[in-house]
Structure 1
């Protein structure tokens, strides 16, 4: 008999006190030097952009007439050293920031190693709350991936090998991509459009965010939103592999969320990558470090699918 917690027990909220969620999810308060880490992300990202000879900036993926067209853009870093006549796989990276902060340019560092290892990288932007709803953000991320599929020939990647990775609510958005019914998004889109995902410190049940006042003031989540937009309570569209990771010293809620998706999606979650000594900000370091367990697992998934 398994001694792992059941899905029902993991889905049960540990507290009714909003202060509990305000503490558990306030990562900036939990990591006092968070600004140092984010400044390093920005500096490393600037170096990656400066060194990238052929990256494409601010490609529009949305409807030009959309009121949010300025936000619906992505940066594209093509793989280097790829043999002539071959098309590399593509990794779509989705940033975090609790749906209300940060930018793709803060995360160019994700494309520091992967293009040299034969993987093209697209880093997407989306609109931020409270100017838009979380549901709008989900739709934008879906739209960006559909656009990247359709632009495979023009950009040079293999549209049949598109993967996704994200941090924090970016991990939530990766999981939502894996629940998407792509043929309903567009008749030209295959059901298995997303071939695999990596979620770093992901969030899969949005109810705790609704209860954290410092977030809810901007997110304005309703009970209905939580039901429709929590991937732990939605079926994955395919059996595509999902890798998960959470920092050892992150809050108990991040560990519960991580265990929740593993229990909810047993046919998809293939590996949980240990991150000893990591908090919510330095969990990202291994994604940009060649030879790290996280990067090895990601490349193994891409190469094995």
Structure 2
């Protein structure tokens, strides 16, 4: 593809338009605030000493350990935070599931290698310290939107767990939404102004190109009206993973599809609950 074609395929900001995109981002924060109002949890917990980054734990009630959904926010690795990213917490709490939403250092302050390390460190924190916060370390499900889907994919991949002292099956299931799994095209669009990747580094950071010694159950979700690049990414990675299903959510775009995770009656919400309960 030409650089112009790649920009059309992956520049969802341009596809949506500034006004619509800003409305969606405002909804992330507003719905997150509504979802966690009065919800039991632990806020601003440090999970990674090296970076000082923190996470929020939502939906634990002190009555036994709950399975946990770790959600990595999107924003093309250079925007957003955990404050806009807990909109599924109340719905999951009502279904007996806890939610963990980590921050990570944004590009260009951090390299993508460092961002991936932090995502994996968040998983390691849940495994090591989850019990102290009402989380079941043996029932960890990961997910994320867009760039967060890429980070979920990097925790699904194999051969990193040993370096963190984790079992190879620490991630029991996954649900990336509009994820990026082969990020080599990103080196040729505006996002690379922040990431500064070359193709070799991008390949090393692409879940679709990494070994997977164990393929956990997964659901790959994408919006019907998503960017063409994101549709292609999920359609290619799902059969490669060979242990998951593909869902194309009708009447949704790149920005609003993930909000369905907060609705227990939506296709995405029901699928997430079923996925977590099955682990």
TM over 0.5, yes or no?
Answer: yes
Range with bigger deviation, 223-232 or 96-105: 223-232
Q: 1:302: which partner in 2?
A: 276
1:139 equivalent in structure 2 = 117
Residue aligned with 1:108, SS: coil
Match in the other structure for 2:27: 40
Q: For residues 108 and 251 of structure 1, what CA distance do their matches in structure 2 show?
A: 24
Q: Which moved more, 1:87-96 or 1:246-255?
A: 246-255
- Indicate conservation of the 8 Å contact 1:182/1:193, yes or no: no
Task: Tell me what 1:209 maps to.
Answer: 186
**CA 1:221/1:183 → structure 2, altered by over 3 Å: closer, same or farther?**
closer
Q: Shift of the alpha carbon at 1:48?
A: 2.3
Q: What's the CA shift for 1:42?
A: 0.8
Instruction: Point out 4+ residue stretches in structure 1 off by more than 6 angstroms.
Output: none
Residue equivalent to 2:56? 75
| Alignment pair present for 1:20 and 2:5 | yes
Is the Cα contact below 8 Å between 2:215 and 2:241 reproduced in 1?
Answer: no
| Residue in 1 that maps onto 2:16 | 31
Following superposition, the deviation at residue 304 of structure 1 comes to 1.6
Mapped contact 1:79–1:116 kept (Cα < 8 A):
no
Would you say 1:58 and 2:32 are equivalent positions? no
Aligned residue for 2:65, secondary structure, equals: coil
**d(CA) in 1 for partners of 2:160, 2:134:** 21
Task: Note the alpha carbon deviations across 1:15-51, whole angstroms, 9 max, x for none.
Answer: 1x21112222111111121111111111111222323
Instruction: Flag structure 1 segments of 5+ consecutive residues without an equivalent.
Output: 1-14
> TM-score normalised to the size of structure 2?
0.95
Using structure 1 for the length normalisation, give the TM-score.
Answer: 0.87
RMSD: 1.5
Matched residues in 2 for 1:150 and 1:180: separation?
Answer: 19
Larger Rg: 1
The structure whose residues are more often strand, as a share, is: 2
Partner of 1:200 in structure 2? Answer: 177
Count of aligned pairs: 277
